Amino acid sequence: MLSVAGLTRRFGEQLALEDVTFDVVPGRMTGFVGANGAGKTTAMRIILGVLAASAGEVRWNGGPLTQTTRRDFGYMPEERGLYPKMKIRDQLVFFGRLHGLDPDRAAERTDKLLERLGLAERATDVLETLSLGNQQRVQIAAALVHKPIALVLDEPFSGLDPLAVDAMVDLLREEVTPEVPVLFSSHQLDLVERLCDDLIVLARGKVVAAGPVAELAAGPSLTYKLVVDGDAGWLRDVRGIRVRDVAGATALFDVEHDGVAQQVLQQAVTRGPVLEFGPERVALSDVFREATR
Ligand SMILES: Nc1ncnc2c1ncn2[C@@H]1O[C@H](COP(=O)(O)OP(=O)(O)OP(=O)(O)O)[C@@H](O)[C@H]1O
């Protein structure tokens, strides 16, 4: 397991990370979200050892993370970092070698990934002649070439069209074994919701929510939807609930527990026909907004 414990990072007077603690569990995709400047890239750089922490530490399977272990990590940095003028096959073999693969294994892994990404025919093209989407594919191949023991991906899907995102996700799922923790940052919340098992929400350098997406999306309170035959405005006067929204016959409201919702249903029935009633799944964007307020 990959963990960070009490990570703090100052840039001069500014506190970019403040006592950040979380786990990235093997075999689970962990989404890392937060507004611009929340500290995601800073945390990822510290995990990869390209930036020092002011306090706190990165841990691997319960012990301190060493440089030797880090060499087996896969990293896709925000600033990317491939060589624009180098041929893509040479480049991937080079990265494989940097991570300790022997020449044959580096070549074998490179060819497999290029094939898998539909780039085999471009193997001898220089990177900068590829479309941005294809350059991004090569970038993910560079993070995967040495079969990493952990993956840290900074905005891996930004700028990709939906089909390319799906292809990239399929590749990640194929390549990543149940032992590999994966941490990826993204601003595309719909994508995060679809892809990740766990979520870490950062706001102004602090963790403000963390846990399995299913639990976070369930939220601290239960949200219900009620559709009546008429106007649902009377809900605003019901005590013990928090009305999120009323639009004509449709209302969304939060309750502390199911029992309260059932009482609301009974009230609704006494007023007239109920067309729809039940718990409403909260969108991740709402969780995010709530957590970063
Ligand atoms: N090298 C640096 N020098 C000074 N300040 C920095 C440096 N790197 C980051 N910061 C500051 O630290 C804070 C966190 O930045 P960081 O890039 O980690 O956020 P982020 O969550 O990755 O944002 P984004 O989503 O925009 O990429 C920001 O206020 C940023 O300006």
Domains of the chain by residue range: 2-216, 219-292
Question: Residue 188's pLDDT is what?
Answer: 86
Ligand 1 centroid–CA 37 distance in Å is 5
Ligand 1 centroid–CA 36 distance in Å is 8
Query: With the C-alpha atoms ordered 116, 121, 126, 132, is the resulting torsion angle positive or negative?
Result: negative
Measuring from atom 12 of ligand 1, which residue has the nearest CA? 16
Q: Confidence band (pLDDT; 50, 70, 90) for 221?
A: low
Q: Tell me: the pLDDT tens digits for 134-157?
A: 999 999 999 999 999 999 999 999
Q: What percent of the chain has pLDDT over 70?
A: 98
Measuring from atom 26 of ligand 1, which residue has the nearest CA? 36
Measuring from atom 3 of ligand 1, which residue has the nearest CA? 11
Measuring from atom 17 of ligand 1, which residue has the nearest CA? 41
The pick from 9, 40, 50, 192 for probing ligand 1's pocket by mutation, whose C-beta has the most ligand atoms within 8 angstroms, reads 40
Ligand 1 centroid–CA 216 distance in Å is 26
Distance (Å, rounded) from C-alpha 16 to C-alpha 39?
A: 6
Instruction: Give the architecture (CATH level 2) of 2-216.
Output: 3-Layer(aba) Sandwich (3.40)
Average of pLDDT values for 62-87? 91
Q: Which atom of ligand 1 is nearest to the CA of 155?
A: 27
Q: Tell me: the pLDDT tens digits for 82-130?
A: 999 999 999 999 999 999 999 999 999 999 999 999 999 999 999 999 9
Kind and range of the H or E run holding 173: helix 162-175
Q: Which segment of 41-45, 197-201, 208-212, 289-293 scores lowest on mean pLDDT?
A: 289-293
The pick from 4, 8, 42 for probing ligand 1's pocket by mutation, whose C-beta has the most ligand atoms within 8 angstroms, reads 42
Ligand 1 centroid–CA 207 distance in Å is 15
Average of pLDDT values for 211-220? 76
**pLDDT averaged over the chain?**
91
Task: Please identify, in words, the CATH class of the domain defined by 219-292.
Answer: alpha beta
Q: Confidence band (pLDDT; 50, 70, 90) for 218?
A: low
Distance (Å, rounded) from C-alpha 97 to C-alpha 229?
A: 68
Average of pLDDT values for 7-35? 94
Q: Which atom of ligand 1 is nearest to the CA of 42?
A: 18
Ligand 1 centroid–CA 39 distance in Å is 6
Distance (Å, rounded) from C-alpha 116 to C-alpha 141?
A: 10
Measuring from atom 4 of ligand 1, which residue has the nearest CA? 11
Q: Tell me: the pLDDT tens digits for 238-257?
A: 999 999 999 999 999 999 88
The yes-or-no verdict on residue 237 having pLDDT over 90 is yes
Residues with CB under 6 A from ligand 1: 11, 16, 34, 36-42
Residue 142 burial by Cβ neighbours in a 10 Å radius (0-12, 13-18, 19+): buried
Q: Residue 64, Cβ neighbours under 10 Å: how many?
A: 9
Question: Residue 110's pLDDT is what?
Answer: 97
Question: Residue 282's pLDDT is what?
Answer: 67
Question: Residue 219's pLDDT is what?
Answer: 59
Question: Residue 276's pLDDT is what?
Answer: 95
Q: Which atom of ligand 1 is nearest to the CA of 205?
A: 14
Q: Tell me: the pLDDT tens digits for 161-200?
A: 888 898 888 888 888 889 999 999 998 888 888 888 999 9
Q: What percent of the chain has pLDDT over 90?
A: 72
Q: Which residues pair with 228 in a beta bridge?
A: 274
Compute, in degrees rounded to 10, the torsion defined by CA atoms 110, 74, 130, 93.
Answer: -30
Q: Confidence band (pLDDT; 50, 70, 90) for 223?
A: confident
Ligand 1 centroid–CA 179 distance in Å is 30
Average of pLDDT values for 49-54? 95
The yes-or-no verdict on residue 289 having pLDDT over 80 is no
